Chains A and B, each alone.
Chain A
Amino acid sequence: MRRLQPIWEWSLGTKLAVTFLLVVTGVAVLVSISVIRRGRSALDEELRERGVNLAQNLARLSIDPVLQDDLWTLYKVVRDIATGGSDHRNVVAYAMVLDPEGRVLAHSDPARFPMSEPLRHDPVSRPAGQSWSIYSAEVGRGEAIHDAAAPIIVDKQTVGVARVGVSTRELEATIGRMTRDVLIVTASLAAVGVVLGYVISRRMTRPLRELGHAVDRIAEGRLDEPAVVHTREKDEIGRLADRFNVMTQRLRDNVREIQETKQYLENLLENANDFIYTLDLGGRITYVNRRFFELGFEKEALIGRPLDALLMRPATGTAPGSASVAEMEVKSGDGQHRTLVVGESHLFDNDGHRIGTLGIAKDVSERKELETRLIQSERLASVGELAGALAHELRNPLGSLVAASKMLGANSPQAASYDRAALLQVIIEEGRRLDGILTDFLAFARPRPPRQQPTSVNALVNEVIESLRLDDVAAGKPIQTDFGDGLATVAVDVDQMKQAVWNVIRNGLEASPAGKVLSVTTTAVDGHVTIDVTDEGAGIPAEQRARLFEPFHTTKPRGTGLGLAIAHRIVTAHGGVIDVSSSSGRGTSVCIKLPRESPA
């Protein structure tokens, strides 16, 4: 048997039908009870009256037979009263005539109540009165007897008593039939009520059911199918249906708008030139845009997979809104290596809970290649420039050398006037100058790897200064040293580093006006040893400062332009840094910064 549904799960139809049933049945039952009660009362009253009438009739009819002692006739009268009229055949239980002493003269049941015997088993025995009287007694299940008695009076003398017992059996049967009829009517009304309730509720709830179907279609996302509820009714349900139709139309419009917006956003994402992806909190890919597929990835191979399997991901922070950018290699689906610049940020829902990661990556592979080519071409340009500069440097001394040589070898009359010794000196000097240029160039162009050994910076700097004091350039220019105490040794190639320091100090001396002090200091700072060379010269204009370390760049009339370039190369080869700070008119400071320990 099916479990009975709780009331709140009943359909409207059932509820209405049950309500009709209950109301109709309730009213019918109340009316029935009232009707039956009144009916019983009226019937009982009528029955009593009939009993009295019959008793009085019997008394009247009994006068002659009693007076004549004609008991058979009396019996027939009694019997006729008891069984006579069809209308009270089942009503009269008995009829009898008693003599004044209470003996039976005639009883409708002579076998049980024999003539001339005192009345036995009298259910409603009572004394004979002077007028009619009625007594009632229960004689069986649901049956009562109303015993009506009327005296038989002749000449004011009571010669007997006529008694008629009327049974309520017929009344009960009538009440039973009435109850049955009422039940039938009640049941019919209830059935009509149920049917009516069902029909009305079906009719009333038809738009509701349509609403339900329409809502189901909407819930299933079938917005394209018409979800209009048709009803002519203009009651609450009708108005609800109308509003529903309006709502559905708006919903459809909104959904279309949302879909268009979504389509627009998807197009934005899909057609973006960048790689866009999202990850869940576990680092698995939840979305990738079309750019990934252009790399040869299959969508199925990406969604749900950890991104780490594809590339080395940059570490991301956890603070909301934090972002990180990293460059990383990825092996694309077709086996090519690509370089991506990846920026990731956290994704948050509306409540601020982190739900994943948004990544936007740019493919910089081609830019990288372009950069490499650019560097190469720049390098080639530098070589050309260098060669030009070198040729330019060589041309002047070479020109002087050639001119001096021509003059020495000339036979012209003017030749005798030439100072041959001076010409030779010119040839020698220019030759030396060429040699110096080439030596410097070679040192710049073909540096040998440094042979590093632990060296005291102070001692190295001191040796360079002492050697320079003998040079002409140092004449009249005092060198002030300030060597830091306890400096750690640095691992350097002594010859190369001496060259670098020599170049820097000599530059400083050259820049220093006569009488101005050149200061050289060494210090230890944060695992580095620095050598500062500061002059008090005119300083370097800002526009030239950027080209200080370029080879053959010089402001001096007879400089090769290679000094600072060589120093830069050596220091850099040692893992150090050379830096120039200068302001026009205030002198220049060059700082060599070397790591305390040689790089691995």
Chain B
Amino acid sequence: MSPLVILLVLLGAVATTPAWAEPPVRIAITPVLVEHYLEVNRELVSYVGEKLGRRTELVQRRSYKEISDLLERGEVDVAFVCGRPYVIDHERFGLELLVAPVVYDGPVYYSYVIVPSDSSATRFEDLRGKRYAFSDPLSNSGHLVPTYMLARMGETPERFFKRYIYTYSHSANVEAVAVKFVDGASVDSYVYDYLATTNPDLTARTKIIVRSPPHGITPVVVRRGVDPALKTRLRAAFLEMSRDARGQEILRQMMLKRFEAVPDSLFDSIRSMLRAVDARFPGAIAERGASGR
């Protein structure tokens, strides 16, 4: 089915049929962000649906790769993805930015290197020969940033670490460090700070030894070919969240200040890290990104 046909169908549906008769707007969220987030995700998707006046459907997948595939195949319309999959999929199949959440001062976040709270490591270099956890192979903060840091040290994860694993979840990374399944891990600062509030016992068993420079935060994207009107209404829905009570409550629960529209250039830092790693170890990143591992 071509996008044009879908658009026509969608437009016809919006104009002539009640909301329940239209195909739902499918919104994909990966638990890479925060595990056990299901309830607020549902609420968010429901809220958006209310704003749109349309049925919405929550789609959850474990990895960015899976969501990336869904977006590429047009099986979801909206998705929360990491800045790095956005950068890559924007190039590959025209993924479009919708909005980005504001957690800190702007639509940025950081990559933390955390170690167990009683660890003797104080610098990333101290983790040489240790067990390390990345979150998702396509994650910026959970994989690209540390890989970039290693590349600058002239190292690859295979060489630098004794053993590294992917947990496909930032919160799992915090937990893996807390239980000392690994000696260190990279985590999304938003996830870590969120956990520090909601599950301080867990984060108390870890400590941050490295905080990366700011990078563009995980954006909300729409697949290429989404009806511009829907896109506009979607964006409006997100942007207006901070202006009504239900939206504020959702934001509060997600510990977001608001959503705001962001330029594509917000993710240039990611693009430059990708280039740097690729220049140092050609093919390593692209290959992983393609394989999902």
Interface residue ranges, A against B (CB under 8 Å): 69-72, 75, 106, 110-111, 114-116
Contact = CB atoms under 8 A, between A and B. Distances in A.
A115 B131 contact: yes
A115 B181 contact: yes
Contacts of B182: 115
A112 to B, nearest CB: 9
B179 interface: yes
A70 B164 CA distance: 10
Nearest to A107: B181
A75 B163 CA distance: 15
A111 B179 contact: yes
B180 to A, nearest CB: 4
B181 A72 contact: yes
Contact of B163 (A70, A111, A116): A116
B167 interface: yes
Most A CB contacts (10 A, CB to CB) among B165, B167, B179, B181 go to B181
Interface in B151-169: 162-163, 165-168
Given A72-B133, A110-B181, 17 more contacts: A69-B165, A70-B166, A71-B165, A72-B165, A72-B166, A72-B167, A72-B168, A72-B176, A72-B181, A75-B176, A106-B181, A110-B180, A111-B179, A115-B163, A115-B165, A115-B181, A116-B131
A85 B166 CA distance: 26
Interface of B: 131, 133, 162-163, 165-168, 172, 176, 179-182
Contacts of B179: 110-111
B169 to A, nearest CB: 8
Contacts of A69: 165
B166 A116 contact: no
A544 to B, nearest CB: 162
Nearest to A108: B179
B181 A75 contact: yes
Nearest to A111: B180
A116 B162 contact: yes
Nearest to B167: A72
B240 to A, nearest CB: 38
B184 to A, nearest CB: 13
Given A71-B165, A72-B165, A72-B181, A114 B172 contact: no
A53 B211 CA distance: 46
Contacts of A70: 165-166
A70 B133 CA distance: 11
Nearest to B133: A72
Contacts of B181: 71-72, 75, 106, 110, 115
B209 to A, nearest CB: 18
Contacts of B162: 116
Contacts of A72: 133, 165-168, 172, 176, 181
A530 to B, nearest CB: 157
Nearest to B165: A71
A110 B165 CA distance: 14
B57 to A, nearest CB: 27
A115 B179 CA distance: 12
Contacts of A110: 179-181
Contacts of A106: 181
A69 B133 CA distance: 13
Most B CB contacts (10 A, CB to CB) among A71, A111, A116 go to A71
A121 to B, nearest CB: 16
Contacts of A71: 165, 181
A70 B179 CA distance: 17
A75 B176 CA distance: 9
A481 B5 CA distance: 214
12 contacts: A70-B165, A70-B166, A71-B165, A72-B172, A72-B176, A72-B181, A110-B179, A110-B180, A114-B131, A114-B180, A115-B131, A116-B131
Contacts of A114: 131, 180
Contacts of A115: 131, 163, 165, 181-182
B43 to A, nearest CB: 26
A118 to B, nearest CB: 13
A153 to B, nearest CB: 23
Contacts of B176: 72, 75
A71 B181 CA distance: 9
A337 B218 CA distance: 154
Contacts of A75: 176, 181
A111 B176 CA distance: 10
Nearest to B135: A72
A71 B179 CA distance: 14
Q: Across chains A and B, which 3 residue pairs bring their CB atoms closest together, nearest first?
A: A111-B180, A72-B167, A110-B181
A55 to B, nearest CB: 21
A385 B7 CA distance: 201
A69 B168 CA distance: 13
Nearest to A72: B167
Nearest to B163: A116
Contacts of B131: 114-116
Nearest to B169: A72
A337 B31 CA distance: 145
A277 B179 CA distance: 117
Nearest to A115: B131
A116 B132 CA distance: 12
A70 B163 CA distance: 12
